Amino acid sequence: QVQLVQSGAEVKKPGASVKVSCKASGDTFTSYDISWVRQATGQGLEWMGWMNPNSGNTGYAQKFQGRVTFTRDTSITTIFMELSSLRSEDTAVYYCARGDYYLGNAFDIWGQGTMVTVSS
Amino acid sequence: AIQLTQSPSSLSASVGDRVTITCRASQGISSALAWYQQKPGKAPNLLIYDASSLQSGVPSRFSGSGSGTDFALTISSLQPEDFATYYCQQFNSYPWTFGQGTKVEIK
């Protein structure tokens, strides 16, 4: 059973950066795109972008362009999401999720979420 | 960006009720739509993909329909474990967007 396990909660000051990891178990790490989705407390889901762990190709939602970077380390089957110039509005739970092409790219496996708090 | 508008934003229903949630896209998205269920403090769980295909392991009381701009998620007989928030998501074009969510509460 494939799992996505994310790093722990973070508290950052405004203007700082945060880097969240998402480790995939199993041997299918490079076979699926990974997306990042965030959710502010009591709010809806917001898609941030995707990464293909095999090629390293990425795509970012325009809202986050220039502030977010996805990277990967295939040797440890881990994808990273780094968000810079943090502001209070970035306080949210951040999820990684696997997109399955054979399910119309729908997200069938999710990480447990990482709470990022931005506060002075 | 394609906007998805869910209706209603919340609803109250009883166990055994038939419940329908709609999702309207701001432009045609063919059948590139998924539905998720989310419970408090948990990650979303995929219910339906390609507008009407039931994800493996999801109870058959959940069904999806629609294409183009109008979609629906139906729960044929609401169970206690179905009280949650439901989201639609489109995969027709980037950025992939979500509806604002529909909270299903106990009457």
Q: Determine the pLDDT at residue A28.
A: 73
Strand intervals (E) in A4-113: 4-6, 10-12, 18-24, 33-39, 46-51, 58-60, 68-73, 78-83, 92-99, 107-110
B101 vs A44: CB contact, 8 Å cut-off? yes
Mean pLDDT for chain A overall: 95
DSSP B88: E
Asked whether residue A26 carries a pLDDT value surpassing 90, the answer given is no
Q: Cβ of A114: how many Cβ atoms within 10 Å?
A: 21
| Cα separation, A57 vs B37, whole angstroms | 29
Contacts of B87 in chain A (CB under 8 A): 44-45
Residue A47 contacts B, CB cutoff 8 Å? yes
Burial class (CB in 10 A: 0-12, 13-18, 19+), A106: buried
Nearest to A107 among B32, B46, B95 (CB): B46
Beta bridge partners of A33: A99
Q: How confident is the model at residue A27 (pLDDT cuts 50, 70, 90)?
A: low
Strand intervals (E) in B8-91: 10-13, 19-25, 33-38, 45-49, 53-54, 62-67, 70-75, 85-90
Q: What is the pLDDT of residues B4-40, one digit of tens each?
A: 999 999 999 999 999 999 999 999 999 999 999 999 9
Asked whether residue A4 carries a pLDDT value surpassing 90, the answer given is yes
Q: How confident is the model at residue A39 (pLDDT cuts 50, 70, 90)?
A: very high
Question: Which residues of chain B are at the A interface, by a Cβ-Cβ cutoff of 8 Å?
Answer: 1, 31-32, 34, 36, 38, 43-46, 49-50, 53, 55, 87, 89, 91, 94-101
Residue A68 contacts B, CB cutoff 8 Å? no
Q: What is the pLDDT of residues B70-107, one digit of tens each?
A: 999 999 999 999 999 999 999 999 999 999 999 999 88
Q: How far is A110 from chain B (nearest CA, A)?
A: 6
